[in-house]
Amino acid sequence: MQQEPTTRRRVIAAAAGVAAAVGATAPSASAASATAPPAGSPAGHPGAAGSSPHGSSSAIRARAAALLRRMSLEEKIGQLFVVEIYGQTAETEHARNRELYGVSTPAQVIEKYRPGGVIYFDARRGPDNVREPRQIARLSNGLQRAAVRGGARVPLLVSIDQEGGSVVYRMLEPTTQLPGNMALAATRATRDAYDSADIIADELAAVGINQNYAPVADVNINPENPVIGVRSFGSDTDLCVEFVSTAVRGYHHGGVASAAKHFPGHGDTDVDSHTGLPEITHTREELDRIDLPPFRAAIRHGVDTIMTAHIVVPSLDPSRVPATMSQPIVTGLLREELGFDGLIATDALDMGGATADFPPDVAPVRALQAGCDQLVLAPQLDTAFGAVLAAVRSGKVSEERLDASVRRVMEHKLRRRLFPLPYVSERRAARTVGSRGHRARAREITERSITLLRNESGALPLAGSSSTVLVTGWGTAPLADLARAIGSRRGQRTTTLETGTAPSSATITQATEAARTHDVTVVLANAAAAGKEGGAAQAKLIESLVATGKRVIVAGVRLPYDIRRFPDIPAYLATYSYTAPSMTALARVLYGETRPHGKLPVTIPRLDSPDRPLYPFGHGLHY
C-alpha cells in the first residue's frame, strides 16, 4: 500500500528536523522515499548491529547535548515517562485512553505528553497492543510517526516485558515461545540462554520494540517468593551471574536494549511488591555476596538499563523508603559505587509497593530525586507530570538533575540508532516472528530444560505399548496441550480431567475413580496458582491418586518446589513452565523419546525442616 503524499512529507520533514537536531545530514526526498515508511511497512531494523553505538561516545554526547538545548522544559519532562496506550493501531479510539489521558487515540497520547517511551501489554492487562507481527509493527511505526512529527521530534523507546516462560510475557503465538530463566538455567548451557535472548530480541526488534525489560537478575533463595520464582535463573549466585551476563549479550546481539531487574535484589521475600511492600533483611555483606553480583556482572557486560525494585532494604537505607525512592540506593550504590551510567528505570509506579505510601503527585518526584531516569507507568499521568513540572520550577528538583536524566535518555536513543528513522518493515516482521528456525531452536532448548527429580521402581519412561492415560490436575490449557501431545502417539488414549487450583473433596474423589480405570495418570501440579492455600489440596489429590496403586507421575509445571508436599511420589519432573512447547517436551521425556537433561538450579528444602535439603542444587536424574 502506498503512503499518502501528506503523510510522506510529514515523515521526510520529521526526519529532517531530527537529523538537524543531532547534527546528521537530513535525507533528501529521494533518499527518504527509499527509507521512510510507506503506510506502516518501512524498511530498517533499529539496533540490528546489537549494542554498538552509532558513532563515538563523544559524538553521541555532543548530539545528545544538542537535542537537549532544543527542548522545552515540558518536552524534557515528557522524556522521563514511559506510558501505556490502549489499542492495536496508533489511530485506534479507546475509552481507556480518554479515561486516563483525556484523548482518544494512542497517537494523541504521544502528541499530548511527548513521553520518552511506551510499554506494550496484551489483552490480559487491557491495552491489547500485541496481536500479530504486522499489526505490532504497524502500531510501532504509527507511534514513532506521532513522536517525530512535532515538538522536539524525538523517537520513542518502545518497551515490553518479554522474559520468556509462562509467567511474565506479553507476546503469544505466533511469537516463538521460549523457556523462562529457571528453565534455561536447568539446562546449564549458557549457549541456550544466549540463543533464547537472541531469538526474543530478534523478534521484538522486528516489530519495532527496542527495549526489553529483561533479564531478571534476582537470586531466588526464598522458595516462598510469590513474585520472582521461576523468573530468576536460580538460587545460586554464581549461576545467576553467568546466565544474566549471557542473556544481556544475547539481547544485544538480537537488536534490543536489555534491562537487569529488580535492583538491589528481589529474591529473598515472601511478599509480592505488586500488592505490598517487601522488606529484604540481608546485611550489606549478604547483599554483596548474594544479591549484587548479578547486577555487577550485567554492568560489566554493558547492560543498557537497570530497573529498581519497590522493596525496603534497611541495611542500605535506614529510612526504610522503597529502593525506587531511595537516593542512597539508586544514586549512592548503583550510580556511584557500582559505576552504572546507563538508564535507571523504576519498576511500575502503579504497583502496591510504590503507591502505598507515595501518591501519584509524590512518587515520580521522589523517584527522580533518588536518581531514576525512566518513570514507568506513573498513575494519574496529568498529576504526575504536573508534580514533576512544579518540582523543577520550584527548585525542589534542579534543572541539572532533570537534564542529567534526559541526557541519558537521549544518549540511549542515539546508541540504539533510533535517529533519524525509527521504523521497521511489516514484511520483515511477519517473516521473522515465529520463524521455522526460531521454533526449532526453541524446541531443542525446552527439551533440555526438563528435570527429573524422582523416578522410583522404573516408573519412567513410559512404555510405548497401548495404554490409557488420565491427564489431570491444574490448568485447562496445559492439560489439553499435554493430552494432545500424548494422544498423538500410537496406541495412547487420553482422558482429560481438570481439577483446579484447590480441588474439592468431590473433585478428588472423581479424579481418583477415573485413575482406577486408566493404566497411567499424569498430574500437573502448580502450587503457586493456589495462593495462600499453598497447594495443600493439590497434594491431597496426588496422595489419593497414588493410593489407587496405579502408576502416577507428577510434573511441577511452575515452581519445582511443589514436591515438598508429596515427597514420596513415584515419579516427579519439573518443567518450570506450562506453555504448549513445555508440555510437548514433557510428553517426549515421559515416553523416552528424549532423555531428561535438566539439573536443579535451586535447592528444594524439606517442608517440615526448611534448613534441610530435600533435593540439593544440581540434582537431576537421567535414563
Out of 122, 272, 274, 301, pick the active-site residue. Answer: 274
471, three cell numbers: 491427564
Amino acid at 299: I
Q: Which helix (H) or strand (E) holds 512?
A: helix 505-516
Contact 210, 158 (CB under 8 A): yes
Out of 347, 373, 481, 562, pick the active-site residue. Answer: 347
Q: Which residues pair with 288 in a beta bridge?
A: none
Query: Prior bond to 174 cis, omega within 30?
Result: yes
List of residues 6+ apart from 400 with CB closer than 8 A: none
294: three-class secondary structure by DSSP: helix
Q: Catalytic residue at 347?
A: yes
Q: What is the DSSP string of 537-553?
A: HHHHHHHHHHTT-SEEE
Contact 614, 568 (CB under 8 A): no
Residue with cell 543498557: 304
375-376 vs 81-83, strand pairing mode: parallel
7 CB neighbour count, 10 Å cutoff = 16
- Residue 596 Cα to chain centre, angstroms: 27
Q: Catalytic residue at 192?
A: no
Query: Prior bond to 420 cis, omega within 30?
Result: yes
556: three-class secondary structure by DSSP: strand
Contact 474, 538 (CB under 8 A): yes
| DSSP code at position 572 | E
276, three cell numbers: 505490598
46: three-class secondary structure by DSSP: coil
In angstroms, the CA 339 to CA 341 distance is 6
List of residues 6+ apart from 58 with CB closer than 8 A: none
160: three-class secondary structure by DSSP: strand
> What is the torsion angle, in degrees rounded to the nearest 10, for the CA atoms of residue 25, residue 31, residue 33 and residue 39?
-50
345: three-class secondary structure by DSSP: strand
605, three cell numbers: 528444602
How far the first Cα of the chain sits from its last, in Å, is: 56
Contact 29, 384 (CB under 8 A): no
198: three-class secondary structure by DSSP: helix
Measured CA distances, 71 to 78, 144, 151, 309, 400 (Å): 10, 18, 8, 30, 14
List of residues 6+ apart from 593 with CB closer than 8 A: none
Q: What is the 3-state secondary structure (H, E, C) of 255-287?
A: CCECEEEEECCCCCCCCCCCCCCCECCCCHHHH
∠531-537-540 over CA atoms, to 5°? 150
Query: Which residues are marked as active site?
Result: 274, 347
